[in-house]
Chains A and B, each alone.
Chain A
Amino acid sequence: MATTEADQRKKKSDAFQYGTYSAKLTADDHKEMLLQLYLARYFDVRLIKEKKRGRLTGTLYSSHNQEAVLVGSLYGLKPKDWISPIHRDMPAFFMKDIKAGWRNLDRMGMSVQQVCAQVWGRVDSPGRARDNWSHIGSRSKHIIHSTSMLAGTIPAAAGVAYADRLSGGDAVVLTYNGEGSTAQGVFHEAINFAAVHSLPVVTVIENNQWAYGTPTYLEYSQEDFARRADGYGIPGLVADGQNVLDVYDKVLEAVDYARSGKGPSIVECKTFRAYGHGDHDDDRAARYRPKEEVEAGRARDPIAVMKRIMVERGLMTQKEAATYAAEGKSASEVSNEDFPPDVVAYLSEGIEFAINSPLPPAEEGGMWVFREEN
């Protein structure tokens, strides 16, 4: 059967056509996005290595294979916009507004030192190590503090958006959720409220196919989760969560829609959780998930997808693409040489800072239950 020109183009470009927003991205934007994909990946694998070396304790919630969702969704935001990350979005805390300079402490995102201090449970964490892992945030940097009650921060996102609009602002609030938490009652309550009030809240669903140990067909009953948006009278978009450019397109479309006053939307990013829910169940995840499904889910590494697009568009040579080769490798298979030196240096600065930061004084455990003075 003769292949059509369209078929060939589809195959050639990893089934990706530039959209309204990604078509305007420059060559430098592409390179920056690829670099950020490396940065998110390196954060993940480096922490696993630190733990294996015995320099770190606590559970890690890997964003491995899901980095395009973070990078693509954050890339089009304005500094004043708010985000509400969850446990698998740890890099988002320091990648928010990272375009303003990785080491720029005035940018509207956390420093890598702060985030690492939180991972290590040290006093220089933004929350002074009072709650673990991703349970930090920053009012001044416009990051809503995450908790263990997944979907429980979407009402707060709606409230932040409501208050901002009341004060004359036009910030957008981006919330991240796994597909698992969409079964929570509060998910419905919050999206409904946001829809009724046309609030600028964009709900990004990182649909990684598994809610801890439960597959999607036991979580909801639609082919595309995004169709749930129909019930609220709001847009529901589906993005290829392995393709940073497609995520960028769909999220920015939703963000523009929100900023123009039209209201909230849901962006479902289809991706796949590469390993366990946390590193504590990596071994069991290898058993409860079919091998073929895991292989298929990891087959389109977001770093590899972006490289292919860049090579095909002439934004990178094959040789350049081969310089660093982190894609398709697990934490134990990858080394520092597989990442750009800037990425390794940046994370290393954060980790060294964290390790040298002291534990909080014990008596702080009894502080800040109430604000004492008016």
Chain B
Amino acid sequence: MAVAEQVSSKKNYLTALKEAVFEEMQRNPDMVCIGEDIGFLGGAFGVTEGLKAMYGPERVIDAPISEAAIVGVACGMCLNGKTTLVEMQFIDFISCGFDQIVNMTATYHYRTAGEVNMPMVIRGPAGGYGGGALYHSQMNEAWFANSPGLKIVCPSTPRDAKGLLKSALRDPNPVMVYEMKELYRQNKIAEEVPEGDAALVPIGQASIRREGDDVTLVTYGNNVYHCLAAADNLAEEGFSAEVLDIRTLVPLDEATIIESLKKTNRLVVVNEAPRTCGFAGEVLARMSEEAFEYLDAPPARVTRLDTPVPWVKPLELYVLPSVEKITDAALRVCKF
């Protein structure tokens, strides 16, 4: 099978995603994959490599460059009893299919008073730090968090990548999976990944990546690793930081964040999206409503500047969250 081509039993993020796709295609004969170059090529990053040979062109569709039709066709298939996995070649291109996602698919269950389910997963490579420039670096999850009816997950580890994608493919609702393409082939985060149902990771549950007592760094995706590095820096300064990976944005596991704040009483939220109306702002808003009494200092956000993501390294790092920016923000909150 095209999936397991690794030397050790540890698997990287990309392989974990592939396993999720192959296992769910095998498990569910009503599942259909559609996207640009996912068949003959096996996807721009190879997530669906070998899938067309194994399951045939009817269930693995090489679509024309038509994001609106790709999502809309998947929507029609869901209406007629199928489960669909849509690949956006880059999550940046999703704007071309925006209407079909937010107006057709996301509202289907609502406007039919529950008659119709949309078991659709839209997955795609997302995020910056790779020099991908304006149209291969985006984190546009807030557009969809602001469109009721869509679940949104953003895994940061191979286990979560496989487990959340598998759970998404069994969910009766449309789920967006923001994959961190900079983590796809990082060997240092490779890990043992379970098979079959044991691999499932429930949607809507946050995960504590590092325990701490003085400040909670709430984040997801690429920034989990920046926060872990910042926590090392903070330890040197004498502060113990808890790193909380929310993993699922919608629905948000508020309880786990609140529990952490009861202990640390300080909050910093980090994400790659622009500052204005980014998801970090939503976390801050909710915690100011739900956990104000536990906070001993004004919370802080570390986000991208309100700019596009520029190309060359110094420009890109200037606008995106960094270990230094997170460390500085957390120190300010800790020393308040």
* B76 contacts A127, C-beta separation under 8 Å: no
Task: Give the contacts of A183-215 with B (CB-CB under 8 A).
Answer: 185-186, 189-190, 192-193, 196
Docked pose: A137 CA to B115 CA in angstroms: 10
Count chain A CB atoms within 10 A of each CB in B77, B103, B112, B170 and give the residue with the most. Answer: B112
Contact A155:B111 (CB < 8 A) given known A149-B103, A185-B68: no
Docked pose: A138 CA to B59 CA in angstroms: 25
* A167 contacts B81, C-beta separation under 8 Å: yes
Collect the chain B residues with CB atoms within 8 Å of residue A144's CB: 76, 79
As a 0/1 sequence over residues 125 to 161 of chain A, the CB contacts with chain B under 8 angstroms (1 = contact) are 0111011000101110000110111001111111111
B113 within 8 A of A: yes
B108 within 8 A of A: yes
* A157 contacts B76, C-beta separation under 8 Å: yes
* B66 contacts A189, C-beta separation under 8 Å: yes
Collect the chain A residues with CB atoms within 8 Å of residue B68's CB: 155, 185-186, 189-190
Contact A139:B79 (CB < 8 A) given known A127-B113, A147-B104, A189-B64: yes
* B109 contacts A368, C-beta separation under 8 Å: yes
Docked pose: A159 CA to B76 CA in angstroms: 4
* A145 contacts B111, C-beta separation under 8 Å: yes
Count chain A CB atoms within 10 A of each CB in B58, B72, B78 and give the residue with the most. Answer: B72
Q: Which residue of A lies closest to B63 (CB)?
A: A193
* B110 contacts A163, C-beta separation under 8 Å: no
A-B interface contact total, Cβ < 8 Å: 143
As a 0/1 sequence over residues 328 to 365 of chain A, the CB contacts with chain B under 8 angstroms (1 = contact) are 00000000000000000000000000000000000010
* A152 contacts B104, C-beta separation under 8 Å: yes
| CB proximity of A26 to chain B, nearest CB, Å | 34
Contact of B113 among A147, A155, A186, A368 (CB under 8 A): A368
Collect the chain A residues with CB atoms within 8 Å of residue B104's CB: 147, 149, 152-153, 155-156
Collect the chain A residues with CB atoms within 8 Å of residue B172's CB: 371, 373-374
* B72 contacts A190, C-beta separation under 8 Å: yes
Docked pose: A160 CA to B79 CA in angstroms: 7
* B114 contacts A368, C-beta separation under 8 Å: yes
Contact of B116 among A145, A161, A166 (CB under 8 A): A145
Contact A152:B73 (CB < 8 A) given known A163-B81, A369-B149: no
Collect the chain B residues with CB atoms within 8 Å of residue A374's CB: 170-172
* A162 contacts B73, C-beta separation under 8 Å: yes
Contact A369:B109 (CB < 8 A) given known A162-B76, A374-B171: yes
A217 within 8 A of B: no
Collect the chain B residues with CB atoms within 8 Å of residue A137's CB: 112
Contact of B148 among A149, A157, A369 (CB under 8 A): A369
Docked pose: A130 CA to B76 CA in angstroms: 20
As a 0/1 sequence over residues 141 to 178 of chain B, the CB contacts with chain A under 8 angstroms (1 = contact) are 00000001101000000000000000000111100000
Collect the chain B residues with CB atoms within 8 Å of residue A152's CB: 72, 99-100, 103-104
* A155 contacts B80, C-beta separation under 8 Å: no
Contact of B115 among A138, A158, A162 (CB under 8 A): A138
Docked pose: A368 CA to B76 CA in angstroms: 19
B69 within 8 A of A: yes
* B99 contacts A155, C-beta separation under 8 Å: no
Collect the chain A residues with CB atoms within 8 Å of residue B173's CB: 370-371
* A370 contacts B109, C-beta separation under 8 Å: yes
* A159 contacts B114, C-beta separation under 8 Å: no
Contact of A166 among B75, B82, B112 (CB under 8 A): B82
B32 within 8 A of A: yes
A164 within 8 A of B: yes
* A155 contacts B100, C-beta separation under 8 Å: yes
* A155 contacts B69, C-beta separation under 8 Å: yes
Collect the chain B residues with CB atoms within 8 Å of residue A156's CB: 72-73, 75-76, 79, 104
Q: Which residue of A lies closest to B117 (CB)?
A: A371
Contact A139:B110 (CB < 8 A) given known A163-B80, A166-B32: no
As a 0/1 sequence over residues 103 to 146 of chain B, the CB contacts with chain A under 8 angstroms (1 = contact) are 11001111111111100000000000000000000000000000
As a 0/1 sequence over residues 71 to 100 of chain B, the CB contacts with chain A under 8 angstroms (1 = contact) are 111111111111000000000000000011
Task: Give the contacts of B8-37 with A (CB-CB under 8 A).
Answer: 32
Contact of A196 among B64, B81, B107, B114 (CB under 8 A): B64
| CB proximity of A371 to chain B, nearest CB, Å | 4
Q: Which residue of A lies closest to B59 (CB)?
A: A166
| CB proximity of A231 to chain B, nearest CB, Å | 14
* A139 contacts B116, C-beta separation under 8 Å: yes
Count chain B CB atoms within 10 A of each CB in A148, A196, A364 and give the residue with the most. Answer: A196
Collect the chain B residues with CB atoms within 8 Å of residue A127's CB: 111-113, 115
Docked pose: A186 CA to B73 CA in angstroms: 11
Docked pose: A5 CA to B59 CA in angstroms: 57
* B72 contacts A154, C-beta separation under 8 Å: yes
Contact of A158 among B73, B99, B149, B151 (CB under 8 A): B73
Collect the chain A residues with CB atoms within 8 Å of residue B74's CB: 159
Count chain B CB atoms within 10 A of each CB in A127, A148, A192, A368 and give the residue with the most. Answer: A368
| CB proximity of B148 to chain A, nearest CB, Å | 5
Docked pose: A185 CA to B69 CA in angstroms: 10
Q: Which residue of B lies closest to A171 (CB)?
A: B80
Q: Which residue of B lies closest to A166 (CB)?
A: B58
Docked pose: A127 CA to B115 CA in angstroms: 8
Can you name 8 A-B residue pairings with CB atoms under 8 Å? A138-B115, A149-B103, A149-B104, A192-B66, A196-B64, A368-B112, A370-B173, A371-B172
Interface residues, chain B, with chain A CB atoms under 8 Å away: 32, 58-59, 63-64, 66, 68-69, 71-82, 99-100, 103-104, 107-117, 148-149, 151, 170-173
Task: Supply 14 further A-B pairs (C-beta < 8 A) apart from A147-B107, A160-B80.
Answer: A155-B69, A158-B72, A159-B76, A159-B79, A159-B80, A162-B73, A166-B59, A189-B69, A189-B72, A192-B66, A368-B113, A369-B109, A370-B151, A371-B172
Interface residues, chain A, with chain B CB atoms under 8 Å away: 126-128, 130-131, 135, 137-139, 144-145, 147-149, 152-164, 166-167, 185-186, 189-190, 192-193, 196, 364, 367-371, 373-374
Q: Which 6 A-B pairs have the closest CB atoms?
A: A159-B76, A155-B72, A156-B76, A189-B69, A163-B80, A189-B66
